[in-house]
Amino acid sequence: MAKYLLLKHYRGGPKPHPNAEAFMDQWTPEEIAAHIAFMGKVADDLSARGEYVDGQALAPDGEFVRYDGEGRPPVTDGPFAETKDLIAGWMIIDVDSKERAYEAAAYLSSAPGKDGKPLHEWLEVRPFLTEPPVVE
């Protein structure tokens, strides 16, 4: 088994499918509820297969933090990334292969959006680092 992080971006990846072009603030409350229910169903399906580890939706706001020397404030008023770069949420899965991770991500990509149509949104699939990189 290998762990993968499935990242949902607010607007990430190559050119979006037309169904994914309407931001969630343009959806009806029923469309938002259907989308969230689908995400719960995906988590339940993955749990039943023993593949679900964790997942969470994220708010679009936040701050960048770094160490900038003693006595200096560590927090900025960012992030200043373009909307397409912000992470909307994530899911961690533990699956037998990269192909299975892709299959799970494709299923998650079919979440309903505006007018109940599948979003066909791009998801970023990232394997967990299992060993530190070799430095020579």
**pLDDT tens readout for residues 73-132:** 776 665 555 554 678 889 999 999 999 999 999 999 999 999 999 988 889 999 998 888
Condensed to tens digits (0 to 9), the pLDDT of residues 30-63 reads: 999 999 999 999 999 999 999 999 999 888 777 7
The reply to whether 10 falls in a domain is: yes
Q: Give CA angle at 86 (84, 91), nearest 5°.
A: 115
pTM of the model: 0.80
Question: Which residues sit opposite 70 in a β-bridge?
Answer: none
Q: Which domain holds residue 76?
A: 2-127
The reply to whether 134 falls in a domain is: no
Could you write out the DSSP letters of every residue in 2-23?
Answer: EEEEEEEESS-SSSPPGGG-S-
The reply to whether 135 falls in a domain is: no
Measured CA to CA, the distance from residue 11 to residue 79 in angstroms comes to: 15
The reply to whether 133 falls in a domain is: no
The reply to whether 98 falls in a domain is: yes
CATH number at residue 77: 3.30.70.1060
Could you write out the DSSP letters of every residue in 40-68?
Answer: HHHHHHHHHTT-EEEEEE--S----B---
Total structural domains in the chain? 1
